[in-house]
Amino acid sequence: MEVRWKVIPSAGLALLAFTALASASPMDELVAAAKTEGELTVIALPRDWCGYGGIIDGFKAKFGLMINEVLPDAGSATEIDAIKKARDTADPQTPDVIDVGLSFAASAKRDGLLQPYKVAKWATIPDAAKDADGHWYGGYYGTIAFEVNADVVAKMPTDWADLVGPDYKNRVGLAGDLASNQAILGIFAAGLSAANGNVGQAADQGLRFFANLNRKGNFVPVVGNLATLTDGRTPILVRWDYLAKADREQLRGKTNIEIIRPKTGVVGGIYVQAISAFAPHPNAARLWMEHLYSDETQLAFHKAHCYPIRLTDLVRTGKVPAEPGETLAQFRGYGRDIEPFFPTIEEQEKAREIITKGWDGIVGTQIQCLEDNGATNIPMALNETTIGQCPIPQ
């Protein structure tokens, strides 16, 4: 279902839509309709997360709309609950748009909580990262990477198979327990590499990989974090790269952190954008989506260490600037595709079942949650129960 550049007229917009905008471009029409609504309500967008502070201010300055920033530190489940409430009761804090983990968006579509809309840049969003009907689509993502304390580890691993070598005895940890998406997708990524890209075998191969890692004495069965990385207990962490980049900035001048994207088995985790089916400001919501997927905002995501979903298009058109000391080769996956593999919800759920049920019997060790594990420096999460560290009390 194609829903692109569609302006929803209200009683106050009828004449405007019929006459004044008759000769205007679709974007001009959308801007005018959004300005008539006058405002937009967003939810769960911390200003220090993925550059959202600047993105929000840029939208206000460019289009002259007010933005209500509701519950900036809320999680995906809270966002969905807010839409459900709007189905039955008018509320001044009803969100027009949401930013949630993939599984939440898919279930919200099934429950009739989202309305479809396809932005002008629709074709440049990877098919694996969007709903075919336009109910939701990824805005940015992170990838599973190796976060390495280079003050402790002399030889950098470049791929999953390297981690089994003798150089990494008592070196490798997971930044999450088996309740977290971070750990599950880390194990899945290792298996995807071992299975040469065979998705159906990735979970089983991931278990075998970590069993081998454990037999070799290379796997450290604790939930790794910033403390265990810096003190050398887990100097190599399998971790979301955007969290690793935050660690690197926090430790700059104190600990030398290297972040390595493996050559194979590169897996991405998507944050999804969608419009509420009950949005009080539907045209402002559509304009916000156009803003998010513009080159300008996608580059803002990139600058803030979150991979923009349109990265492939931005790289191919020469619009992605290299970071200091780096080149565009970092985005070319060592000769492979720029985009990582984005597992579907069904693939993630199947992998979770296989890994959680098979871990004890195949790998033969339990991952311990250390008392000093903290989650205070971790922003949003793809998972409502954990944030890639230890479970958080609800």
Residues 172, 177, 180, 184, CA torsion sign: positive
8 Å CB contact between 143 and 240: yes
Give residue limits of the domains in the chain: 11-140+269-316, 142-268+338-362
Q: Do domains 11-140+269-316 and 142-268+338-362 have the same CATH topology?
A: yes
42 pLDDT above the threshold of 50: yes
Q: Which residues pair with 173 in a beta bridge?
A: 237
The predicted pLDDT at position 322 comes to 55
pLDDT at 6: 55
Q: Binning pLDDT at 50, 70 and 90, where does residue 9 land?
A: low
**If one looks up domain 142-268+338-362 in CATH, what number appears?**
3.40.190.10
pLDDT digits (tens, 9 = 90+) for 210-257: 999 999 999 999 999 999 999 999 999 999 998 898 899 899 999 999
Contact (CB, 8 A) for 277 and 83: yes
Q: Which amino acid is at 375?
A: A
* Cβ-contact 175, 242 below 8 angstroms: no
Between 63 and 74, the higher pLDDT residue: 63
Give the E-state strand segments of 163-305 in sequence order.
172-174, 219-223, 236-240, 257-260, 268-276
Q: What six digits make up the tokens of 78?
A: 């809270």
pLDDT digits (tens, 9 = 90+) for 285-343: 999 999 999 999 999 999 988 999 999 899 889 898 655 444 444 444 333 446 799 99
Of 173, 218, 217, the closest CA to residue 369 belongs to 173
CATH number listed for the domain at residues 11-140+269-316: 3.40.190.10
Distance CA 30, CA 275 (A): 15
